[in-house]
Structure 1
Amino acid sequence: MKEQETLNEDYFDENQYEIDNRIRNLYWTVSGNYGENIKLDTVSFSRSPWVSLYDAVKQGAFSRYFDRNAFGLYLVKKLYYGADEQALTNVAQLAVDSAVYRKISAERKGVQEIRKKAFSDLLEYDFTRLASYYLGQIKICMMQQAVRGSVSHEQARMRQVLDLLAELEDTYDTMEIIRVTDKLYNWLMDPYFEKNHGDLAKVLAVTMEELKEFSWKDYLEEEAKEEELTQVLNQVNQAVTQTGEASTEQEEKRESRMKRVLVDAEAAAKMYSYIELNYGRSYLNEGEQKRINRSLCRGAHADCSLYFTDGILSNMVKRNYQSEYARRSKSENLRVYGHHSRVAKRNIEILTDTLRRALVARSERETVRSEYGNILPKQLWKLGRSRDKKLFERVLKKDSSEFVVHVLIDASGSQRSRQSLVALQGYIISEALSNVQIPHRVMGFCTFWDYTVMQRYRDYDDPKEANKRIFEFHASSNNRDGLAIRAAAASLRDRPEENKVLIVLSDGRPNDIIVNRPNSKNPMPYAGDYAVRDTSFEVRKVRAEGISVLGVFAGEEQDLQAERRIFGKDFAYIRNIMNFSSVVGLYLKRQLDDTAQ
């Protein structure tokens, strides 16, 4: 499959002009409007020609049967009132596909086959990403139904969504698509939209003057070459007829926007059940969880909760899309490990050797003169002649066993593009620590709603075989780094070892959506400078207690400065997996050497 992708990319590079013309002609043929200058998605051709072709067909059909500009204007008005851009786009894509595919398939028999092939490719390429969020799971249902006529893991709520979308198959009324899109968005993505902003009539009542006065800079994918509103309208019109997922760059830009999610008491009461269903049952009982939350969820994290779990694959409530996403992520992580196995094993050997030599040095016997011990005959002449009372010698043995390590891995959605390599880094550290018999725990963390989920892959005294569970690592949701570091440090404090080390694998981007619950203190958004300052404060506080903290940075270069602010001089920038063992090994060796003094 990788070879096929490479062939597609090479073909695309060599024939881009021809491909652009072919797809544009397909759009013109379907739409019947040969004079329209429209932007089409040709980049996806390198991954799947069928996706690009179907997008051109779908966009042409939508322009032919419906008022594309009226639908785009509704979406922009919804954004004006604060709707989430990605969620709204995803809902609109489902509605548009349902409204056009039967109509155009009846006229052009080859469209149904193009659609099936496009969906087959997307189910193969993007299943993991789609399965990580609810609307993506609905997309999977729709595509599976088109490809094989059946759906796996269908839930009653999903069936209701698909039935509502099916009502659009016979309509030629753009307003009907708008009504269904609005209803689905308010139902699935923001149940409090109408309460907070008003119904569909109020959204449609927004004037062009109000839209033009609004700043759309945050929504622009590139520097404005024309009026902001016009460019956003063009972007929206193109996005709603795309079939594939957004690029990583687009996705990260959307995720970076600060948002507040408002929930009422009923929704807040359902949070725990949702967390349990999608992250696995907790390994703590209710009393233990409450005690930990009372102790740790204070200050900037006063309205938050911690949730400790061994993961959905280890303690599943029931099989669902999240469990399928976790299973596929594990398979992909193991595949990447297999591909890099020689490099990984070499890194493990180097790191193990570095640690072993440092521990041997700590275990060496040292003979020192003392005021007690075994008498030294040749020193007896000093009796009554010198103040030197060290007439004895004794053997000192340095202790090599008083070390414990906690490896904490950022498992937020921003790690998705490098998920398998992050898992591999965690595995390398864990294998080396196991080889030299240093007790250690490995956990991942992410934040969903007000829960910071701490997933345990292996515990301090687990056997070496448990290290393979680190490949269950998968990235999703947000990250509240300060609270996760506070929780990890608390577990280290409970350990009897004298020397404690915390290693944090992160991308230097603490970022969390705030959930404003009833009677909450409504803290400021946990993002940007505020989040970096809080995380760096937690690191300084942990170090002040005598716990060594190392930050291992595997993010983008633009976030390097934030990582420096958080971890100071004790952070490692991993540009290449080949350098991993030597960089981390030098730090751990220094900790072993320093405590031997």
Structure 2
Amino acid sequence: MKWIYEDYDRDQRLKNIMWTVSGDYEQDLESFEKYSDLSKDLAVYYAAKAGARRKYMDWKLIKGYLNYRLRRTKANAQLLVGITEVCTDQAVERKLLKERPGMEEIRESGYEALMENFLLSKNKDLIDKVKYLIFFRQTGKSVQMDKKVVDVVNDIESQNDFKDTMDVIRKIEQVYVDHFEGEAADIDFIEEDDKARETIEHFSEADFEEESMNDFMQEEYYGEQEDLSEAVDRMANHLMVESMGEMKKEEQENTSEKTISIDEETAEKIQDKIAHYYGQSYLPKEKVKSIEKKVCRSVHEGCRVHFTDGVLRTSTDNNFQVKYVQKQLEKNVAFYNNNSRVHKRNIFKLKEQLIKTLAMEQETSYLPSEYGQIVPQRLWKVEHTDDTRLFNRILKNEKGGYAVDVLLDASGSQKNRQGSVASQGYIISQALTLAQIPNRVMSFSSFLDFTILRRFRDYDSPIEENKNIFEYYATGNNRDGLAIRAVCEALIQRQEDNKILIILSDGKPNDMKIAKGSTIRGEASYRGIKAIKDTAKEVRAARKNGVLVLGVFTGKEEELYAEKYIYGKDFIYNRNIERFSDIVGTFLKRIIENY
């Protein structure tokens, strides 16, 4: 990301503002060019608030509180993190404006410029609405919101002053309990300062070592929509308004580059780390390199792929990861068993529908004709009628056999749906296997520059291996286009005439680039419309190569637009698990009959 300053003094003045407010002249200023390009006042306000965030908030304590709360209680992570973001932002705002009253006018002027170049998200949950109401109140605009939202905002704004970070944590807890939980959990420790700080600092220091990959995996496990540490870092380093929408296209193009830089030594160690956390590869290195040469091109240049059967079915000394996957397996099985009668009925109905459809496709048809195979029973017509169709023309189905790949999106955005995705994958595979259709089931996610493809069963595996699908777990990012391309490499090599790819995904590809050493090639992060277009392109390429692609949408209804863009008419969205087999069966029948 490049920004050419028209005025070097402006850069220095902004740094001085941050340093003056924070009182720490060793801190550096985060990237602020997107604000400065829009408005001088917005850049000044951002710099001042950056300093205030450092001065007034102990973000390590905030991390410790969230980690404790989410690990020890059944708190809703999305709600609690959202309330934390709002309360910390309000606390910093109050402190800053009390100490420097002139900032309020600067903020209003800056926000006016921001509103002209900002697209508010259309998909608003309750926390989004809380942020919206606060934002509009700060800009002096009125907006209608439901009573729940108004009550939450009024409660947050009712406290005019916060003594310290522990005071803010108490407010977060009070708002969350009063408005969302209904009763206090085991959080009595926050009533006593010494005990509170000691407890929180323990969780903060013990569980947030940023250089430790073990801690990364733990945060993935206890987090929900995003890594917990990353969520708090975002609060500490960005204006709250940034989580409410995005810059218009022309501004967004300048800020969408997301690259992580690592040295060569670290790059060489990544392969071993990937195997340590995801399981050894079942393909030899030479075969993997050959596949990478074919698939890691264009926007995926520099990426790598890792094919594995997972940590439970390969040798590993990573006991933490084994326990983690085993625990999720048990949760997935429990999810399936809680509704086993419906799931088993889905399997039976889908199997019967597949068998019936394939049987019809393989039937031999006989058409009365003037040539072909003679039919003795019609010879009497020779002298008695003008009908010369004394023969049958035999129409044989030449479609041949079928092979199916089932690909499960295993990125972190699926964390709340792990049991559901695993069960749906199992239902499809079990029905295909019982219908004697070769099928392979894999999941995909990405970590650093690797796309991880975990295989649960292969095309000709015995039916007993279908239970491996319950090893499914969600973590990391997702590079959908590369995963589709890599999976199709093996699928198109199958001898069957007809290949089908079924993809269970939320339609939200999202990944980042890794730069090795000092050579950053400048590729954009894999997200937003760019990633959606790439995924759609790979779906079209697969279809062009003879693969029938069906999307099964597992995300939220308001995000269906991406799924429609990627898969066209060949996708399904199922709200009722009891009708899952009917819907999948109907769509499979359609694509089998029409292609």
TM over 0.5: yes
Aligned-residue offset at 1:360: 2.4
Aligned-residue offset at 1:262: 1.1
Aligned-residue offset at 1:316: 3.1
Aligned alpha-carbon RMSD (Å)? 4.3
Task: List runs of 5+ in structure 2 lacking aligned partners.
Answer: 1-72, 76-147, 223-228, 246-254
- Tell me the equivalent position of 2:459: 460
- Tell me the equivalent position of 2:537: 537
2:172 to 40, 44, 47: 40
Aligned-residue offset at 1:354: 1.6
d(CA) in 2 for partners of 1:218, 1:291: 46
- Superposed CA deviations along residues 93-125 of structure 1, whole A, max 9, x for unmatched, are 6567569xxxxxxxxxxxxxxxxxxx9xxxxxx
- Superposed CA deviations along residues 429-465 of structure 1, whole A, max 9, x for unmatched, are 0111111111111100000011001111111111111
2:215 to 134, 137, 142: 134
Aligned-residue offset at 1:516: 1.5
- Tell me the equivalent position of 1:500: 499
1:296 aligns with 2:295: yes
Aligned-residue offset at 1:398: 3.4
d(CA) in 1 for partners of 2:558, 2:328: 27
d(CA) in 2 for partners of 1:316, 1:493: 30
Aligned-residue offset at 1:41: 1.4
d(CA) in 2 for partners of 1:140, 1:438: 35
Q: Residue 304 of structure 1 contacts residue 452 of structure 1 at CA under 8 Å; is this kept in 2?
A: yes
Q: CA 1:317–1:397 in structure 2 vs 1: closer, same or farther (change >3 Å)? A: same
- Tell me the equivalent position of 1:522: 522
After TM superposition, the structure 1 = structure 2 runs for residues 173-212 of structure 1, keeping only pairs within 5 Å, are none
Q: Residue 352 of structure 1 contacts residue 435 of structure 1 at CA under 8 Å; is this kept in 2?
A: yes
Aligned-residue offset at 1:378: 4.2
d(CA) in 2 for partners of 1:575, 1:349: 20
- Tell me the equivalent position of 2:570: 570
Aligned-residue offset at 1:591: 2.2
The one-letter amino acid paired with 2:500 is: V
The one-letter amino acid paired with 2:280 is: R
- Tell me the equivalent position of 2:559: 559
- Superposed CA deviations along residues 147-200 of structure 1, whole A, max 9, x for unmatched, are xxxxxxxxxxxxxxxxxxxxxxxxxxxxxxxxxxxxxxxxx99xxx9xxxxxxx
Q: CA 1:132–1:466 in structure 2 vs 1: closer, same or farther (change >3 Å)? A: farther
1:583 aligns with 2:573: no
Q: Residue 303 of structure 1 contacts residue 520 of structure 1 at CA under 8 Å; is this kept in 2?
A: no
Secondary structure of the residue that 1:393 maps to in structure 2? strand
Q: Residue 329 of structure 2 contacts residue 470 of structure 2 at CA under 8 Å; is this kept in 1?
A: yes
1:470 aligns with 2:469: yes
- Tell me the equivalent position of 1:316: 315
- Tell me the equivalent position of 1:512: 511
Aligned-residue offset at 1:51: 4.0
Aligned-residue offset at 1:541: 1.4
Q: Residue 261 of structure 1 contacts residue 515 of structure 1 at CA under 8 Å; is this kept in 2?
A: yes
Q: CA 1:37–1:219 in structure 2 vs 1: closer, same or farther (change >3 Å)? A: same
Aligned-residue offset at 1:330: 0.4
Q: Residue 406 of structure 1 contacts residue 441 of structure 1 at CA under 8 Å; is this kept in 2?
A: yes
The one-letter amino acid paired with 2:489 is: A
After TM superposition, the structure 1 = structure 2 runs for residues 158-307 of structure 1, keeping only pairs within 5 Å, are 216-217=239-240, 259-307=258-306
d(CA) in 2 for partners of 1:453, 1:48: 41
Secondary structure of the residue that 2:392 maps to in structure 1? strand
Secondary structure of the residue that 1:313 maps to in structure 2? coil
Aligned-residue offset at 1:40: 3.1
Q: Residue 190 of structure 2 contacts residue 196 of structure 2 at CA under 8 Å; is this kept in 1?
A: no
d(CA) in 2 for partners of 1:485, 1:453: 12
- Tell me the equivalent position of 1:109: none
- Superposed CA deviations along residues 505-546 of structure 1, whole A, max 9, x for unmatched, are 000110002211234533101001110111111111111222
1:365 aligns with 2:364: yes
- Superposed CA deviations along residues 227-255 of structure 1, whole A, max 9, x for unmatched, are xxxxxxxxxxxxxxxxxxxxxxxxxxxxx
d(CA) in 1 for partners of 2:285, 2:382: 69
Q: CA 1:511–1:355 in structure 2 vs 1: closer, same or farther (change >3 Å)? A: same
Aligned-residue offset at 1:365: 3.4
- Tell me the equivalent position of 1:52: 187
1:330 aligns with 2:329: yes
The one-letter amino acid paired with 2:364 is: R
Q: CA 1:550–1:98 in structure 2 vs 1: closer, same or farther (change >3 Å)? A: closer
Q: CA 1:405–1:98 in structure 2 vs 1: closer, same or farther (change >3 Å)? A: closer
Task: List runs of 5+ in structure 1 lacking aligned partners.
Answer: 7-12, 66-91, 100-118, 120-130, 142-187, 194-210, 223-255
d(CA) in 1 for partners of 2:404, 2:182: 42
Q: CA 1:285–1:435 in structure 2 vs 1: closer, same or farther (change >3 Å)? A: same
- Superposed CA deviations along residues 322-346 of structure 1, whole A, max 9, x for unmatched, are 2221111101101111111111112
d(CA) in 2 for partners of 1:138, 1:586: 40
Q: Residue 307 of structure 2 contacts residue 455 of structure 2 at CA under 8 Å; is this kept in 1?
A: yes
Q: CA 1:358–1:39 in structure 2 vs 1: closer, same or farther (change >3 Å)? A: same
After TM superposition, the structure 1 = structure 2 runs for residues 25-174 of structure 1, keeping only pairs within 5 Å, are 39-42=171-174, 46=181, 49=184, 51-57=186-192, 61-62=196-197, 94=201, 134-135=215-216, 137=218
Secondary structure of the residue that 1:318 maps to in structure 2? coil
Aligned-residue offset at 1:578: 1.9
TM-score (norm 1): 0.61
Aligned-residue offset at 1:382: 7.3
Q: Residue 44 of structure 1 contacts residue 52 of structure 1 at CA under 8 Å; is this kept in 2?
A: no
Secondary structure of the residue that 1:495 maps to in structure 2? coil
d(CA) in 2 for partners of 1:492, 1:343: 31
TM-score (norm 2): 0.61
The one-letter amino acid paired with 2:215 is: Y
d(CA) in 2 for partners of 1:135, 1:535: 28
Secondary structure of the residue that 2:575 maps to in structure 1? coil
- Tell me the equivalent position of 1:81: none
- Tell me the equivalent position of 1:550: 550
Aligned-residue offset at 1:259: 4.0
Q: Residue 189 of structure 2 contacts residue 195 of structure 2 at CA under 8 Å; is this kept in 1?
A: no
Secondary structure of the residue that 1:447 maps to in structure 2? strand
Identical counterparts, % of pairs? 37
Secondary structure of the residue that 1:39 maps to in structure 2? helix
d(CA) in 2 for partners of 1:479, 1:566: 15
d(CA) in 1 for partners of 2:505, 2:550: 11
Secondary structure of the residue that 1:500 maps to in structure 2? strand
- Superposed CA deviations along residues 196-244 of structure 1, whole A, max 9, x for unmatched, are xxxxxxxxxxxxxxx99x961356689xxxxxxxxxxxxxxxxxxxxxx
Aligned-residue offset at 1:492: 1.4
d(CA) in 1 for partners of 2:221, 2:474: 19
The one-letter amino acid paired with 1:490 is: E
Q: CA 1:579–1:310 in structure 2 vs 1: closer, same or farther (change >3 Å)? A: same
d(CA) in 2 for partners of 1:493, 1:557: 32
d(CA) in 1 for partners of 2:547, 2:390: 39
Q: Residue 550 of structure 2 contacts residue 571 of structure 2 at CA under 8 Å; is this kept in 1?
A: yes
The one-letter amino acid paired with 2:239 is: W
Q: Residue 452 of structure 1 contacts residue 480 of structure 1 at CA under 8 Å; is this kept in 2?
A: yes
Q: Residue 330 of structure 1 contacts residue 471 of structure 1 at CA under 8 Å; is this kept in 2?
A: yes
Q: Residue 58 of structure 1 contacts residue 97 of structure 1 at CA under 8 Å; is this kept in 2?
A: no
d(CA) in 1 for partners of 2:326, 2:193: 33
- Count of aligned pairs between the two proteins: 415
The one-letter amino acid paired with 2:573 is: Y
- Superposed CA deviations along residues 44-68 of structure 1, whole A, max 9, x for unmatched, are 7649955422345468854xx9xxx
Q: CA 1:300–1:495 in structure 2 vs 1: closer, same or farther (change >3 Å)? A: same
After TM superposition, the structure 1 = structure 2 runs for residues 382-531 of structure 1, keeping only pairs within 5 Å, are 392-393=391-392, 395-398=394-397, 402-518=401-517, 519=519, 521-531=521-531
d(CA) in 1 for partners of 2:288, 2:242: 40
Q: Residue 281 of structure 1 contacts residue 309 of structure 1 at CA under 8 Å; is this kept in 2?
A: yes
The one-letter amino acid paired with 1:40 is: I
- Tell me the equivalent position of 1:248: none
